[in-house]
Amino acid sequence: DVKVTQSSRYLVKRTGEKVFLECVQDMDHENMFWYRQDPGLGLRLIYFSYDVKMKEKGDIPEGYSVSREKKERFSLILESASTNQTSMYLCASSFPPSEYTDTQYFGPGTRLTVL
């Protein structure tokens, strides 16, 4: 079974802190994604990566950066956390689309609270 793990289930940080959220997948997937999920807004794509050292902006990249130094690991960085970044953060991974299928496998999520 594909396993996607995230470094923390719950995290509480203070405004202005630098926050690292880590995601690791064990299935040699090429693609990795970071989403945030907020009530009434659904899942919104922050950043994604199709290969090591590659990154692409999603729909809401402002205030975030990412790092992908190894294939299995994709980190989301909040350079200076703000209260409006309080959210559930979900990581996902997938193989490259083949025959137009891009099924994503999700981690359990990190609920981040910024005070």
Q: Which residues bind other proteins (CB under 8 A)?
A: 4, 33, 35, 40-43, 45, 48, 58-59, 88, 90, 92, 97, 100-109, 111
Residue whose CB is less far from other proteins, 18 or 57:
57
Nearer to other proteins, 67 or 104 (CB): 104
The C-alpha atoms of residue 46 and residue 36 are separated, in whole angstroms, by 7
Q: How far is the CB of 98 from other proteins (least distance, A)?
A: 11
| Least distance in angstroms from the C-beta of 99 to other proteins | 8
Q: Which is nearer to other proteins, 11 or 43 (CB)?
A: 43
CA-based nearest residue to 36, from 82, 90, 104, 80: 90
Nearest distance in Å: CB 109, other proteins: 5
CA–CA gap between residue 14 and residue 49 (Å, rounded): 28
Nearest distance in Å: CB 50, other proteins: 9
